[in-house]
Amino acid sequence: MQDTLKISNNDRNRALGLSTFAFTICFAVWTIFSIIGVSIQQELGLSDTQFGFLVATPVLTGSISRMFLGIWTEKFGGRIVFPLQMLLTSVAVWLLTSVHTYEMFLVAALGLGFAGGSFIIGVSYVSRWFETKHQGTALGIFGVGNVGAAVTNFAAPFLVVALGWEGTAKVYAVVLAATAVLFYIMAKDDPSHKLRQSTGKGGMSLAEQLAPLKKAQVWRFSIYYFFVFGAFVALASFLPRYYVGAYGLSLTTAGVLAGLYSLPGSVFRAVGGWMSDRWGARFVIYFTFFASLFLLFVMAFPGGSFRTSGINGPIEFEVGTSLYLFVTLTIFLGFVMSLGKAAVFKHIPTYYPEHVGAVGGLVGMIGGLGGFFLPIAFGYLLDVTGIWTAPFMLLFFLVAISVVWMHLAIIRMSTESELLVAAHG
C-alpha cells in the first residue's frame, strides 16, 4: 500500500529516526539484566542456571508480546501503540527496585520484558513509510536500535558503580518514560493508518491477519531468526558473565568487552539491509551462517594442557583462546549476525506486505524465544559440564542444523519450480 501513497522524505525520515531512537532505548532496557543481574546474582547467591533464568525472563515476555503487539500496531497504528508500550515498561522497571527475593525478581522481569516487543511495533510502523525496494535498507537502519544492548554494556556498569543497581534501574525507567512522551508528541500516524481513518475502512480481521502463518516459509524464516537474533540477545546477556568467570575480569571491563560484540551486532544491520536490497536476502543469510560456523568453531574450542610423546621425551603444551583473540572473534560474530538479522526481515514486507505485523510478530517471537531459552541452556551447560566454552558448542550445532535445513529447503523449492515450468512448457 505504501507504494501508492505520496509521502514526503521529511515524514519518512522523521518516522525512521524516531522509531530507531525509541527502539534503541527499549533494547537498552530489555538487556539491563546482563549488567545489574551480575550484582543481583552476587547479592542473592544465585547459581549459573538461576542467573540464566533471570536474564532470560524479560526475553520471554518481549518475544511472546510481539504477536499481539504487531497485530495491534496494524489496527491502531504505531504512534499510539509504541508510547503505550514504553510507558507500561517504564513502570515495571521502576517497580523492579522494590523487589528483594529471586521469585519476585522473575515476576518483575516479566513486566520489564515488554521492552522487547518494541521491535515489531517499529517494523510495522516503519515499513508503511517506504517503498518495497527501499524497505530492506530502512528496516536495517531501524534495526540499528539493537545498539541499545551495547549502550547497556558500556554505560550500565559505570552507573552500577556510581548509583548501585537500584539507582541504575530508576535512571532507565525515567529515560524510557521520557522517550514515550517524546515519540507521541513528535511522531505522525503512518500512511496506511491515516488512509483507513480517512476512508472509514477498518483493518483486516484477525483471521485474515493470521492467514499467512499457515505457510511453512514463515516458520522457516522464524528458525533463521532464532539464531541471528535470539543468539545475539543471549550472548549480549551472557558475555559479561563469561568474561568475569572465564577470564577473571571486573564487571566494568567485562561490560565494555561485551559491548564490543553488541555494537557491530547492531550498527551494521543497516549494511545488511542494503546488501539484501542489492544482492538478495538469501545470499546474505548463507554468508551469515557459514561465517558463524567458522567463528563459533574457534570460540567453542576448550583450552587446556596437553601432553604428547616427543623424540626426547614427553612434551607438554597449553592450548586456548586468548582474551584478545576471543574478543576479536565476538566482534566478527556480531557483525555477521547483524547482516543476517536484516536479511530475514527483508523477506517479510517483500512476501507479505499487508501482513507485516502478524508475520513479523511470529518471526520476532520465535527469534526472541531463542534469547529466552539459550541463556537458560548456557547456564545449565556451565553447571553440568563445568566447561566455559560449552555454550559456544551449542551455538555451533544450532547453526549447522539451520544451514543444512535451509539448503535442503532451497533445493526443494528450486526443483518444484522447475517441475512447474516444465508442466506449463
Alpha helices in 200-322 (DSSP H): 206-210, 216-225, 232-247, 251-262, 264-267, 269-279, 281-300
pLDDT value of position 201: 53
Mean pLDDT, residues 186-201 taken together: 67
Mean pLDDT, residues 149-165 taken together: 86
CA distance 215 to 86: 32
Whether 406 maps to a domain, the answer reads no
Whether 152 maps to a domain, the answer reads yes
Alpha helices in 98-131 (DSSP H): 102-112, 118-127
pLDDT value of position 196: 60
Task: Quote the domain boundaries for residue 361.
Answer: 2-397
Whether 405 maps to a domain, the answer reads no
Mean pLDDT, residues 244-270 taken together: 83
Confidence of residue 295 (pLDDT cuts 50, 70, 90): very high
CA distance 357 to 302: 42
Which residues on neighbouring strands pair with residue 307, listed in sequence order? 316
Whether 419 maps to a domain, the answer reads no
Whether 315 maps to a domain, the answer reads yes
Does 378 score more than 70 pLDDT? yes
Does 4 score more than 50 pLDDT? no
Confidence of residue 148 (pLDDT cuts 50, 70, 90): confident
Domain harbouring 16, CATH code: 1.20.1250.20
Does 198 score more than 90 pLDDT? no
Mean pLDDT, residues 132-158 taken together: 81
425: its cell numbers: 512448457
Does 330 score more than 90 pLDDT? yes
φ and ψ at residue 304, rounded to 5 degrees:
170, 180
CA distance 276 to 124: 19
53: its cell numbers: 533464568
What pTM was estimated for this model as a whole?
A: 0.69
pLDDT value of position 255: 83
Sequence-distant (≥ 6) Cβ neighbours of residue 236 within 8 angstroms? 31, 34, 149, 153, 258, 261, 262, 265
Q: Nearest 10 degrees: CA dihedral of 320, 326, 328, 332?
A: 110
- Using alpha carbons, select from 41, 151, 160, 158 the residue that is nearest to residue 105: 41
Cα angle for residues 215, 217, 220 (degrees, 5° grid): 125
Sequence-distant (≥ 6) Cβ neighbours of residue 247 within 8 angstroms? 254, 323
The answer to which of 75-89, 137-151, 356-370, 378-392 has the lowest mean pLDDT is: 356-370
Three-state SS at 92: helix
**411-425 as b/e, with b when 16 or more CB fall inside 10 Å?**
eeeeeeeeeeeeeee
386: enclosing H helix or E strand: none
Cα angle for residues 256, 260, 265 (degrees, 5° grid): 135
The answer to which of 14-23, 63-72, 368-377, 416-425 has the lowest mean pLDDT is: 416-425
Residue 64 near residue 362 (C-beta atoms within 8 A): no
Does 290 score more than 60 pLDDT? yes
Number of domains in the chain: 1
Query: Tens digit of pLDDT for each residue in 199-216?
Result: 555 555 555 555 656 666
Which residues on neighbouring strands pair with residue 316, listed in sequence order? 307
Whether 403 maps to a domain, the answer reads no
Confidence of residue 185 (pLDDT cuts 50, 70, 90): very high
Q: Which residue has the higher pLDDT, 210 or 394?
A: 394
CA distance 119 to 181: 18
Whether 56 maps to a domain, the answer reads yes
Whether 308 maps to a domain, the answer reads yes
CA distance 238 to 219: 27
Query: Tens digit of pLDDT for each residue in 53-111?
Result: 887 888 888 888 877 787 788 778 888 899 999 999 999 999 888 888 888 888 888 88
Sequence-distant (≥ 6) Cβ neighbours of residue 378 within 8 angstroms? 48, 52, 234, 238, 390, 391, 394
pLDDT value of position 87: 94
